[in-house]
């Protein structure tokens, strides 16, 4: 009887160690592949991969809200859009165009939107909140679309890509390779930060809110404050994705602020697997790849959203855990 | 105060009256769309993102039926029937499996359905807008305009349809079933009411109403694959402002919001006038989240 | 069961039923029968699974193991609305009448079935209003405005609209005044005289012993004792053992 407790701790220690080891092994393996990719792939696919990473970041930010806090939000187009236009503002207004300023402005814009959404998140429940965030994206869309003098209206804004600068050390223009590595660094860094957050005590409280908000509040946690922080974080990372997009593509357009962009982020999230952080990136990749392949096989006019949309619906019914969730169960992790 | 006097003098009274009528007409169509939406939400707890697409497909069915039969009213009935049945099939295939699950699933599912339907319409019917000619081309003189009687007819017809729905819910046997199911789904089943079919029926009813609105709107708004998106957003605002599940509330809210937008269009351009509805929504959510016109229960 | 006078299949047979609520194992192999025209009492402390047994019969919870049959036909897993149409009526604890519907509309939920002729409608309504004159008085009032006792009457009247073969009655006297309690006793007697079977879950032991022909006593998700009601007295050791405080 007394030997059993001792026996129990040893295997537990081993499993915890090997789990962390397995994670870092997998992480660096994937990173290695992604770092090498632009050197090996043709130009088109390299740029494609960069874009997937950006959409993945957007979807990941959405996952923090949906997968971990249990809040459905369609507001990510607003965060993404403001990040995009914020960066555009910095790159157009301040000469010489500065990368870090663009990031700062973009995050600032996204933060403003996130504050408004965060306020509503504490006062409205589920469906009302979801609809409000949708309307919110539309408000920004209408403003951006019609305020042509400032935002370029329908045509959006065009600007030049800034150099990659570290003060006093480096000042080089991007090429498609270095842009890819920059985006990869930002997205990977964001992923690690978000992973840290979701596995921290803070993250545990978020998940408890998702499971049972009333009980979490009854235990004594200031649920409102947690929600606000969650929305702010989500908004900031979504805005960061917008900044990256603007910097990579050198333009900002109102289309991305239309609420459908939020919808797509949620779709990537679900296809990949909610509540996994990595899932959304996988989902974004899967979706974009499918879309690319469909248009290559069937032509540009092919309505790729019809089969993809049907797949999405089928997945909701039969595989709500997403691709990653399915894989996880299959591997019996 | 000269400025205020100037402002009052500059208010184009005749334009305001015209906009009042326009606002009421648009409001009645919006009310019809929103009624279906609020019915589906109130009874089934489903946020139907695809509602705008049912409106749009109804309009297209109307175009086809009109081209085939040459009769507008027949086309209206046929379109409502076809989309009603389609709605029932949709509910059975995609929403029934989700009953009992987290409501997030139905929101995403209906969103997915709206994407599929919208792209299908674009693919099938092309980007060029279609039109149905008005069944009544008579006009009357309103100030300096020749105002079409047809628009007045739309408003009256929408009102009649909503009124019939209300009577149906109150007195008809299925109306009692629907109300019982809304109040206590479990006991409704224990009383022999086939609740899964009640849900299908309600969804079909909502779809048919959306389709009818689409056909009614077609002669003066045209038919294209993106019309659903604009209407569904406004319809959601109406449903929230009117109180979810509150039929009377959504009618009042629809007219209220449409009037505000119509007046705003006097001074702003139309794509900006829609901000009026956003403002109403935000104010409602801040001060009376259960709905501005919700009956206290 | 040797107590049955005829060896024909009983109206309702519950056999070895296991039921869970989520992860909680509530029923551990419950078996009981109710014969045609019989009143059977189901006694036991709070939480032993009496209500869950009724819910398993009307299909509101699904047994993971075991079988329920009606007149020999298996009905386990059928949806509640089908069972209601087959003749099983359920009157839950806390009544659960439709509060926003009028008394008449509440009755209509059972009355508006397929295949009910105009004469049957009239006959059923007349009968129910004879049993419960107060409901006739309040027929256009909303259910939520009725008193506790009146709501209980409405719940039973509503069940009668289904022309049931068996009524599952869950704690009908709970929270009622003594005068109403004895009225419930009379109603059960009247229903019995009409040949309707009743499975009566109750905390009120004397009423149950008077009204029933047979008694089951449950404890911890299982039937522990089964005998004729006449063989039991309120002061018996068995009663004290399973129902005493």
Q: pLDDT tens-digit profile of A125-139?
A: 777 788 788 888 888
3-state secondary structure at position C31: strand
Question: Which residues in A lie closer than 8 A to residue B269 (C-beta atoms)?
Answer: 146
Interface test mutation site (partner C, options B191, B195, B196, B247, max chain C beta carbons within 10 A): B191
CA nearest A277: which of A181, A147, A187, A159?
A187
Q: Considering only alpha carbons, which residue of chain B is nearest residue C113?
A: B192
Cα separation, C220 vs A306, whole angstroms: 54
> Quick check: C89 and C34 in contact, CB under 8 A?
no
Q: How confident is the model at residue B294 (pLDDT cuts 50, 70, 90)?
A: low
Q: Taking residues B77-102, what's their average pLDDT?
A: 92
Question: Which residues in A lie closer than 8 A to residue B274 (C-beta atoms)?
Answer: 142
B36: preceding bond cis by omega (within 30 degrees): no
CA angle A172, A174, A178 (to 5 degrees): 105
Question: CA C114 → CA B197, C85, C97, C117, C120, distances in Å?
Answer: 15, 9, 22, 9, 12
Torsion of CA A202, A205, A209, A215, to 10 degrees: -150
* Domain segments of chain B as ranges: 19-226
* Residue A10: predicted pLDDT: 44
Per CATH, the architecture of C12-93+163-243 is what?
Answer: 3-Layer(aba) Sandwich (3.40)
Q: Are strands C65-70 and C214-219 parallel, antiparallel or unpaired?
A: unpaired
Cα separation, A119 vs C53, whole angstroms: 47
Q: What is the pTM of this model?
A: 0.86
Instruction: Report which DSSP code applies to A221.
Output: -
Residue A213 lies in a domain: yes
* Residue A2: predicted pLDDT: 40
3-state secondary structure at position C220: coil
Q: Chain B contact for C100, CB < 8 A?
A: yes
Say yes or no: ipTM exceeds 0.95. no
User: How many structural domains are present in chain A?
Assistant: 1
Residue A227 lies in a domain: yes
Q: How far is B209 from chain C (nearest CA, A)?
A: 25
* C219 CB-contact burial (10 Å; exposed 0-12 / middle 13-18 / buried 19+): middle
Q: Minimum mean pLDDT among A241-250, B128-137, C121-130, C188-197: which range?
A: B128-137
For residues A302 and A57, the model is more confident at: A57
The answer to whether B176 contacts C100, with C-beta atoms less than 8 Å apart, is no
* Residue A7: predicted pLDDT: 40
Torsion of CA C173, C158, B190, C117, to 10 degrees: 150
* Residue A306: predicted pLDDT: 87
Place of tokens 């570290």: A166
The answer to whether A128 contacts B240, with C-beta atoms less than 8 Å apart, is yes
- Give the domain range for residue A233: 51-257
Q: Considering only alpha carbons, which residue of chain B is nearest residue C105?
A: B176
> Quick check: C212 and C40 in contact, CB under 8 A?
yes
Question: CA B168 → CA B186, B254, B295, C28, C240, distances in Å?
Answer: 23, 21, 20, 47, 55
Residue A163 lies in a domain: yes
Interface test mutation site (partner B, options A316, A322, A325, max chain B beta carbons within 10 A): A316
Two tokens at C41? 């009492």
% chain B with pLDDT above 70: 96
Residue A121 lies in a domain: yes
Q: Which residues contact C194 (CB under 8 A, 6 or more apart)?
A: none
Two tokens at B257? 């919001």
Place of tokens 């059977």: C40
- Candidate ranges A9-18, B126-135, B183-192; pick with highest mean pLDDT: B183-192
Q: What is the DSSP string of A6-44?
A: HHHHHHHHHHHHHHHHHHHHHHHHHHHHHHHHHHHS-HH
Cα separation, A279 vs A290, whole angstroms: 16
* Residue C190: predicted pLDDT: 93
% chain C with pLDDT above 70: 96
Residue A43 lies in a domain: no
């Amino acid at each position: 009887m007394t030997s059993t407790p001792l026996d129990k701790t040893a295997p537990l220690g081993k499993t915890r160690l090997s789990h962390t080891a397995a994670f870092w092994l997998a992480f660096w393996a994937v990173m290695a592949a992604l770092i090498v990719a632009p050197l090996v792939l043709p130009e088109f696919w390299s740029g494609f991969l960069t874009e997937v990473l950006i959409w993945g970041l957007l979807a990941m930010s959405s996952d923090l809200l949906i997968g971990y806090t249990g809040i459905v939000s369609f507001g990510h187009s607003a965060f993404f859009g403001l990040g995009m236009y914020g960066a555009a503002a910095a790159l157009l207004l301040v000469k010489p165009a500065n990368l870090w300023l663009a990031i700062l402005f973009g995050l600032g814009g996204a933060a403003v939107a996130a504050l408004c959404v965060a306020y509503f998140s504490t006062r409205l429940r589920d469906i009302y909140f979801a609809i409000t965030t949708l309307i919110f994206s539309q408000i920004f869309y209408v403003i951006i679309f019609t305020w042509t003098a400032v935002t370029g209206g329908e045509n959006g804004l065009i600007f030049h890509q800034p150099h990659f600068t570290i003060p006093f050390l480096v000042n080089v223009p991007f090429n498609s390779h270095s842009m890819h590595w920059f985006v990869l660094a930002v997205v990977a860094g964001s992923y690690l930060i978000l992973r840290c957050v979701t596995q921290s005590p803070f993250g545990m409280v978020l998940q408890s809110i998702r499971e049972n908000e009333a009980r979490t509040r009854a235990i004594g946690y200031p649920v409102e404050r947690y929600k606000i922080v969650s929305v702010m974080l989500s908004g900031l990372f979504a805005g960061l994705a917008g900044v990256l997009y603007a910097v990579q593509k050198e333009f900002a357009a109102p289309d991305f602020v239309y609420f459908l962009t939020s919808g797509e982020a949620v779709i990537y999230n679900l296809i990949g697997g909610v509540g996994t952080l990595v899932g959304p990136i996988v989902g974004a990749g899967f979706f974009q790849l499918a879309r690319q392949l469909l248009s290559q096989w069937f032509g540009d006019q092919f309505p790729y959203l019809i089969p993809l949309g049907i797949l999405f619906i089928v997945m909701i019914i039969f595989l709500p855990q997403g691709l990653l969730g399915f894989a996880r169960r299959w591997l019996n992790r | 105060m000269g400025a205020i006097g100037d402002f009052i003098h500059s208010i184009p009274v005749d334009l305001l009256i015209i906009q009042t009528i326009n606002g009421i007409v648009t409001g009645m169509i919006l009310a019809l769309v929103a009624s279906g939406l609020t019915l589906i939400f109130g009874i089934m707890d489903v946020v139907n993102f695809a509602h705008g697409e049912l409106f749009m497909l109804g309009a297209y069915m109307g175009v086809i039926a009109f081209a085939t039969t040459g009769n507008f009213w027949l086309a209206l009935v046929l379109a409502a029937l076809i989309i009603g049945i389609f709605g029932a099939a949709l509910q059975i295939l995609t929403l029934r499996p989700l009953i009992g699950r987290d409501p997030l699933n139905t929101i995403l599912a209906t969103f997915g359905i709206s994407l599929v339907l919208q792209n299908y319409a674009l693919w099938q019917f092309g980007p060029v807008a279609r039109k149905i000619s008005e069944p009544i081309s008579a006009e009357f003189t309103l100030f300096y305009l020749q105002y079409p009687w047809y628009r007045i007819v739309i408003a009256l017809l929408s009102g009649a349809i909503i009124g019939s729905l209300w009577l149906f819910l109150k007195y008809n046997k299925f109306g009692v079933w629907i109300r019982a199911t809304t109040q206590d789904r479990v006991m409704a089943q224990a009383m022999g009411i086939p609740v899964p079919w009640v849900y299908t029926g309600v969804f079909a009813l909502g779809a048919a109403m959306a389709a009818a609105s689409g056909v009614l709107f077609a002669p003066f708004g045209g038919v294209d694959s993106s019309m659903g998106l604009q209407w569904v957003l406004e319809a959601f605002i109406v449903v929230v402002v009117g109180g979810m599940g509150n039929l009377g509330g959504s009618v009042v809210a629809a007219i209220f919001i449409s009037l505000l937008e119509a007046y705003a269009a006097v001074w702003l351009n139309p794509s900006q006038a829609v901000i009026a509805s956003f403002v109403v929504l935000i104010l409602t959510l801040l001060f009376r989240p259960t709905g501005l016109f919700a009956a206290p229960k | 069961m040797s107590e049955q006078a005829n060896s024909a299949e009983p109206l309702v047979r519950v056999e070895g039923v296991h039921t869970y609520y989520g992860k909680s194992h509530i029923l551990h192999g419950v078996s009981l029968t109710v014969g045609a025209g019989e009143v059977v009492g189901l006694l036991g402390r709070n939480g032993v699974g009496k209500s869950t047994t009724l819910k398993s019969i009307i299909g509101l919870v699904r047994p993971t193991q075991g079988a329920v049959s009606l007149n020999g036909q298996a009905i386990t897993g059928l949806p509640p609305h089908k069972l209601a149409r087959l003749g099983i009526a359920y009157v839950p604890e806390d009544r659960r009448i439709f509060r926003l519907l009028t008394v008449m509309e509440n009755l209509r939920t059972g009355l508006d079935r397929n295949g009910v002729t105009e004469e049957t409608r009239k006959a059923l309504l007349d009968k129910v209003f004879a049993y419960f004159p107060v409901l006739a008085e309040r027929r256009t009032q909303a259910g939520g405005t009725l008193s506790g006792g009146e709501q209980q009457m409405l719940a039973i009247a509503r069940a009668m609209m289904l022309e049931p073969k068996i009524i599952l009655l869950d704690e009908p006297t709970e929270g009622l005044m003594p005068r109403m309690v004895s009225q419930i006793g009379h109603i059960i007697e009247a229903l019995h005289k009409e040949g309707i079977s009743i499975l009566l879950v109750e905390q009120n032991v004397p009423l149950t012993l008077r009204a029933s022909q047979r008694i089951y006593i449950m404890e911890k998700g299982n039937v522990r004792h089964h005998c004729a009601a006449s063989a039991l007295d309120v002061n018996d050791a068995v009663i004290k053992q399973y129902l005493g405080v």
